[in-house]
Amino acid sequence: MKDMKTDTGNDAGRAGMNAAPSAERTHIGFFGRRNAGKSSVVNAVTGQDLAVVSDVAGTTTDPVSKAMEILPLGPVVVIDTAGFDDTGELGALRVNKTRMTLNKTDIAVLVVDATEGMKDCDRELIDLFKAKNIPYVVVFNKSDLAAGSADTVAEGEAACAGSPAGDAPVMRVSALTGEGINELREKIASLRPEGDEVRLVGDFISPGDVIVLVIPIDDAAPKGRIILPQQQAIRDILDSGASCIVCRETELEETLGKLADPPQLVITDSQAFGVVSQIVPGDVLLTSFSILMARKKGLLDAAVRGISAVKNLKDGDRVLIAEGCTHHRQCGDIGTVKIPKWLRGFTDADISIETCSGTEFPEDLSPYALVVHCGGCMLTAREVSYRTKCAVDQGIPITNYGTLIAYTHGILERSLGVLPELQKELRD
């Protein structure tokens, strides 16, 4: 496990666009109370001074994330969190930030001070790990200062009974001397969540297929590059042995006319759905990057089931529009301008639109008649799943950008042609 590195300029071939996107990395969170040595354990595990270490309790005030590579896990994000026992008004805000970090954590490491043993906040964290089905390991740090800490370790083992991975492992380490650190790295690697990764497009195209990607270049397009879902679609198509042609919507008709045979599939930016659907022949499959990303992140089924709520919106209803990124908003922004315009135009209702972005997402969704979420390309699948579950459990309809845009343009059924089972469910 000594092969560990960060994605920095010295890491040949991984800087810039070649680095794995944060949302596609396994997120490893380090949790515990103040001064348990979380930051010291983070530094020992990574082999670098990633976190500030101090004898003063509460040195870490906000979650600190760092992209790493840990073999055999591969690309990961290591997160050092604030003490879960923080107090006062600011402390409560920090604890809430730590709670929010759990929603994107794939593997949790609970760091306990071996000289003091388990405390109530440690047990509360274990309960949260279990409730959110997060694989975890309990680490008794400062074992060099607590040679006779067998009782505290036994207590930790008892508290972990019933964890998602059976009885969670309990380990003794010393960040100071390095005792148990290599074993901890191996244990973290062994906790990788099981399950087949959902591909963006590769599981329903075949070698030799021709796929046309429609990418508008407007004021909102990032200068000199294309956005993440478009990059990932190109790579997935190439990995499938298929070919892709990329064009703007303004050149789409000309591009299709130059092909000897129709393409097997056209994927468009959802914002161009209206124009593109009129150009692409009806017997050619058509969908959007947003719909495919929502499927990859586990949101699409709920998005299709929730879309019928749009036609029931009435004056005074509140709609939450949620985005996973915090991009600079420009004139004609999709979340704050275009979707509200399409919603109001489709429903002819005086609805109230509220927005949230980044890691901010309200746990209480009861004030809203509908939640409209982005495709989630900048969020982990676990965090998108958490947000979806929040809505479903509270009985609040949730949909996503691509599904909503296709619905308001009257082409949702067509846009689901690549997913016939979901298309059939929509018809039924």
Cβ–Cβ < 8 Å for 318, 309: no
Which H or E element spans position 66?
Answer: strand 64-70
pTM of the entire predicted model: 0.77
Q: Pick from 67-76, 149-158, 327-336 the range whose average pLDDT is largest.
A: 67-76
- The whole-number pLDDT of residue 164 equals 47
- The whole-number pLDDT of residue 115 equals 86
Cβ–Cβ < 8 Å for 175, 43: yes
DSSP helix/strand/coil, 303: helix
pLDDT of residue 57 exceeding 50: no
Residues 6+ apart with CB under 8 A from 251: none
**Superfamily (CATH H level) for 4-190:** P-loop containing nucleotide triphosphate hydrolases (3.40.50.300)
Residues 6+ apart with CB under 8 A from 347: 310, 311, 313, 314
**Mean pLDDT across the chain:** 84
Query: Which tens digit of pLDDT belongs to each residue from 102-143?
Result: 888 999 999 999 888 888 889 899 999 998 889 999 999 988
Residues 6+ apart with CB under 8 A from 36: 83, 111, 112, 113, 141
Query: Which tens digit of pLDDT belongs to each residue from 294-311?
Result: 999 999 999 999 999 999
- The pLDDT of 359-379, averaged and rounded, is 92
- Positive or negative, the CA dihedral 23, 26, 29, 30 is negative
Can you spell out the DSSP letters for 230-283?
HHHHHHHHHHTT-EEEEE-GGGHHHHHHH-SS--SEEEE-GGGHHHHHHHS-TT
Q: How confident is the model at residue 413 (pLDDT cuts 50, 70, 90)?
A: very high
pLDDT of residue 163 exceeding 60: no
- The whole-number pLDDT of residue 84 equals 87
Q: How confident is the model at residue 235 (pLDDT cuts 50, 70, 90)?
A: very high
Cβ–Cβ < 8 Å for 249, 268: yes
Q: What is the CA radius of gyration of the chain?
A: 24
Terminal alpha carbon distance of the chain? 52
Fold of 298-412: Rossmann fold (3.40.50)
Phi/psi-derived region of residue 133, left when phi > 0, alpha when psi is between -120 and 50, beta in every other case: left
- The whole-number pLDDT of residue 283 equals 95
Query: Which tens digit of pLDDT belongs to each residue from 173-212?
Result: 998 899 999 899 889 988 887 656 789 999 999 999 999 9
Length of the chain counted residue by residue? 428
59-65-354-375 Cα dihedral, nearest 10 degrees = -170
Which H or E element spans position 5?
Answer: strand 4-6
Phi, psi of 377 (to 5 degrees): -65, -25
**d(Cα 67, Cα 88) in Å, to the nearest integer?**
31
Domain ranges of the chain: 4-190, 202-292, 298-412
Hey, do 4-190 and 298-412 end up sharing a CATH topology, with the first three levels equal? yes
Domain covering 202-292: architecture? 3-Layer(aba) Sandwich (3.40)
Q: How confident is the model at residue 221 (pLDDT cuts 50, 70, 90)?
A: low
